[in-house]
Every structure is written in structure tokens, then in C-alpha cells.
Homo-oligomer: A and B are copies of this chain.
Amino acid sequence: MVETKQDFMTLIEKIEEQSWYKKPIGFGLARVDRGQLTPEKILQATYPVVNWNENFGSAAVFLHALRQTGTELDTSKSELVCDISEAFVDQCSEIFKPFLMQAVGDDHRNVQVTAVLSSLKEHNELKCEDYKMVFIFEDDKPQSVESVYLKLYALSTGKAKLRSLNLDGAFGQLHNCAWSNGKPIELDWLRTHEVTLKLCGNYPEITMVDKFPRFLSHVIPADNTRILETSKVRFGAQLAAGTTVMPGASYINFNAGTEGAVMVEGRISSSAIVGAGSDVGGGASILGVLSGTDGIPVSIGENTLLGANSCTGTAIGDSCVIDAGVTILPGTKITLSEKAVAAIAEANPGKEITPLMRGKDFLGVNGVHFRQNSTNGQIIAMRSTREVKLNDELH
């Protein structure tokens, strides 16, 4: 019996010593939406609490409770997705008892999960088939809808860094669904019931058809973050506090986002990252690895302005400006005056700055203003009027 926190700690140590035990990278209990026609198909997994390189005590409890209540645990694979049972819920409640009273707000969120399940059980409302216990042991290709969602949660909650997780094959794991009021519906279910639904006036309002849900369906942003339209941010994107996403031409794809307060009025393609204090102007396009870049994910520095309808296919440094309507691709030839070469070189000690450079040559170059000369059409680079902080360690 676990009566005290000390009992709890002792038990955790004992669990962690066992040969079958393996420390997970991430874990959580998910509520799952199943296919209306094919219930074995998981359409969505919603995690009230996401654990990522943390809360290993809770992980041990969940694994132990599964094992104690009859689940055969195979911790040798990269991930583990388990059904839950009433006995599992009881077992977890038993072990978490010493923490129950403090499990409010941000504290002991996994205990809160157990408490809610317990309460549902008491009211005879616990449907165990609605839940899955999910563990990721190695950052391998995801093998299930549940692990894809857990990784996307890790990215969108900021617990994992953008581009840091293996998402190979994630698209293949997810099912394309119609979504209505935040819930996924199998397209075949719609087809089967189309005649009746339409004739009776009950056809659902479909907000989208996609494999991914939206960021705001799963994640609560920081108090000073604004997303003016939910469709503009896909689940799996990451928005640092203070980021604003406007509803015009903007879009932030999964595994892409911002590292500080950024004004986003344009597109941040999958794998692209924008630094703090920067501004992605209306209709500006940061290309993804699949189109127009040279295959290297694009990073935009801090305090940089991408003008309206500009297009960027290569990395841009800090304190840069790309004028409205200007396109900088990796191969774009950019002309620099003698003065510009000197000024940009001064702001970028150690970088080679020459009178004719390609877009891709500006990797790590700060304080550049990219323009098109309106009298002769030439794409030019000048020193921007934005201050560049030199890295003291380099000098």
C-alpha cells in the first residue's frame, strides 16, 4: 500500500530497477476518437497531459499499473500503445493517493488525469475503449496514430524543439477525415449516411477534410499569443509566446514556427523557423524543403522583416529586410555596391562578402537589406538600417 510520498518514491525505485522497465522519452494518456464504421481505426488522439523527458515517476506508475492489471508490456520497441481497464485506473489511483490533494492547477497533472478517470468510473461513465496509454521509448519513425499525435503535441507545446523529432511516415499513419465541430468523421460514414442526413436536414457542417487537426483543437497558447483564425496553424506547429498569426494569407505548417514574439501574416512552410522579433509580412512566403529551396530547411533570424509578398527560399540572418515583392531563392544573383560590401562586411566579421553573391551565400549574414532597384530591375543587397549585435565571443 502506498500511503505516503516516501512509499511512492520507494515503489518508483523498485519499478525502475526491474528488467522490463524502460524510461520513455514521452508518454501520456490519450482519449481517442475511433472510426464510426471501423472502430479499430483511431482517427484522433487527445492528450490532456503531455510528458516529454519529464515526470518519470508517473511513467513508472502507469507502466507498473498496466503490468499489474494484466497487460503484456513489450518495452523493446520504439513505442507502446496500450488499452486501459478499470483495474488499471484503480491501481493508478491507489499509487497516486499521496499526491491527490495537491493535484490541482499545474501540479501533478498525471494524477489529475487518474482522478478524472476514477470519477468517471464511480459514475459508471468510464468507457475504457475511449482511452489509450501511450509511451515512446525511442525517437524512431512513428508506428501509430497515437505516437504521431504525442510527437506533434511535444512540438506544439514547445517541449520538443522544432525539427528535432523523427516524423518520417507520419502522414502514412494518419487517416484522412472530414472534421465537424472538432471531431473527425470517416468519409465512408458520410457516404453511407449521405441520403438520410441530407433529406432529414442533419448533414454536419464540415470545417475541413485532412489528416491533421488544428493547433487550437489541442493546445492552449500563451496569454499574449494570438491566432486570429484557427485554420491558419496546423497541429504540430510551434508558436513562441507573443506570436501573432493574422488571418489574411498566413499559414504555419506542422514542424514549423517561431522562436520568439513574431508577427505572422505570411506562410511558414513545414521545417521553416522564424526568430524572435521578426515580422513575416502579408503574403510573404517562406519556402519549405520540397519547393524552391535547395533542400535545406529555411531559418529566418531575429529582428528581420520579410516584406509583403516577398518570397524566401534560403536562410536569412538577423536584422535583415527583404523588401515587399522581392524574391530571394538560393540561386538568385544579388549585386552589391562597393559601399554595401564594406558595410555588410563590417557588420559580419569573418564572413566573405563580395560584389555578386547568390541567395544561399547569405547564410548567417546579418544586417542585410534585399531590394530590387526600380530603375533597372537589379536585385541588390545593402546594409539594413537595423542594428546588428556582434557576437563578442567571436572578436
A interface residue numbers (CB < 8 A to B):
31, 46-49, 105, 109, 112-113, 116-117, 120, 130-131, 176, 178, 181-182, 187-188, 190-192, 194-196, 198-201, 203-211, 216-217, 220-221, 223-232, 234, 246-251, 265, 267, 269, 279, 281-283, 285, 287, 291-292, 305, 307-311, 313, 323-327, 329, 332-335, 372-379
Closest 8 CB pairs of A and B: A377-B377, A248-B251, A325-B327, A249-B249, A229-B231, A285-B308, A48-B198, A182-B205
Q: Which B residues lie within 8 Å of A117 (CB)?
A: 199
Q: Which of B209, B292, B372 contacts A216 (CB 8 A)?
A: B209
Q: Which of B109, B208, B308, B379 contacts A228 (CB 8 A)?
A: B208
Q: Which B residues lie within 8 Å of A265 (CB)?
A: 267
Q: Which B residues lie within 8 Å of A211 (CB)?
A: 226
Please determine whether A187 and B221 come into contact, CB atoms closer than 8 angstroms. Answer: yes
Give chain B nearest CB distance to A308 CB in angstroms: 4
Please determine whether B374 and A376 come into contact, CB atoms closer than 8 angstroms. Answer: no
Q: Which B residues lie within 8 Å of A192 (CB)?
A: 105
Give chain B nearest CB distance to A291 CB in angstroms: 7
Query: How many copies of this chain does one complex carry?
Result: 3
Give chain B nearest CB distance to A269 CB in angstroms: 7
Q: Which of B176, B285, B372 contacts A324 (CB 8 A)?
A: B285
| Given contact pairs A105-B192, A283-B309, a sample of 19 additional A-B residue pairs in the complex whose CB atoms are under 8 Å apart | A47-B198, A116-B200, A176-B223, A187-B223, A188-B223, A206-B217, A207-B230, A208-B227, A208-B230, A231-B247, A249-B251, A267-B283, A283-B283, A291-B305, A291-B308, A292-B308, A307-B311, A310-B325, A325-B326
Contact sample, A vs B, 5 pairs, CB 8 Å cutoff: A46-B203, A48-B199, A178-B220, A232-B248, A374-B379
Given contacts A195-B48, A279-B291, contact A181 B209 (CB under 8 A): no
Closest B residue to A113 by CB, please name it.
B195
Q: Which of B188, B195, B250 contacts A112 (CB 8 A)?
A: B195
Please determine whether A209 and B227 come into contact, CB atoms closer than 8 angstroms. Answer: yes
Given contacts A307-B292, A324-B329, A375-B333, contact A225 B247 (CB under 8 A): no
Please determine whether A311 and B324 come into contact, CB atoms closer than 8 angstroms. Answer: yes
Please determine whether A220 and B190 come into contact, CB atoms closer than 8 angstroms. Answer: yes
Q: Which of B48, B221, B310, B374 contacts A332 (CB 8 A)?
A: B374
Given contacts A49-B195, A249-B249, A267-B283, contact A209 B187 (CB under 8 A): no
Q: Which B residues lie within 8 Å of A224 (CB)?
A: 176
Give chain B nearest CB distance to A360 CB in angstroms: 13
Give chain B nearest CB distance to A310 CB in angstroms: 8
